Homo-oligomer: A and B are copies of this chain.
């Protein structure tokens, strides 16, 4: 079984249960951080001390408080981890249940398992830890109904998300175009962006931009 595990979870009420599972599994070294920044620090430190972690269990959303942070979400943390220790096994334990977001965790961030916080999630978490140790891939807790084959939301790509994000921040077409130009995201003509928004509106059956953003918010896309 795993020898050294890091838990990144801000809610104490949840971390207690997660740590209990790890103790039940006789993991010798269990560390727990409440902020993403601390998590990355620990992992880097373990690397230089030649005693790296072999599993990380992370939440996705972290409450923001008085403390200034660089990494503000589980996604940020995992991305940072992938830069320093890509071989580290990663399990995400979160309330999120939108298929699009979970798929991108597997595809873009290369996580090993996703467990959705729910009515029977502690069992699921234990199974995911054991499965990850055995080398199983793309483990998904059983209460998640979607499959990796369904095409829903798969064709929404990061380009679309960028547009939606800027729209949600009050940008007008022209601003989005110049923003894209300065970030060298392409295509960046107002017309192309307009067309892409139009596709999104058709896809989500939205009457107008306002409607579109409301739907995007509901889907957790922005």
**Chain A residues near B (Cβ < 8 Å):** 10-14, 16-18, 20, 34, 63, 65, 93, 95, 97, 117-122, 125, 143, 167-172, 206-211, 213-214, 217-218, 222
Contacts and interface: CB of A to CB of B under 8 A. Distances in A.
Copies in the complex: 2
A118 B214 CA distance: 27
Contact of A121 (B13, B125, B218): B13
Contact of A11 (B121, B169, B214): B121
A117 B16 contact: no
Contacts of A118: 10-12, 63, 65
Given A11-B14, A65-B143, A214 B121 contact: no
CB-CB nearest 8 A-B residue pairs: A170-B211, A170-B207, A168-B214, A217-B217, A13-B17, A16-B17, A13-B14, A34-B119
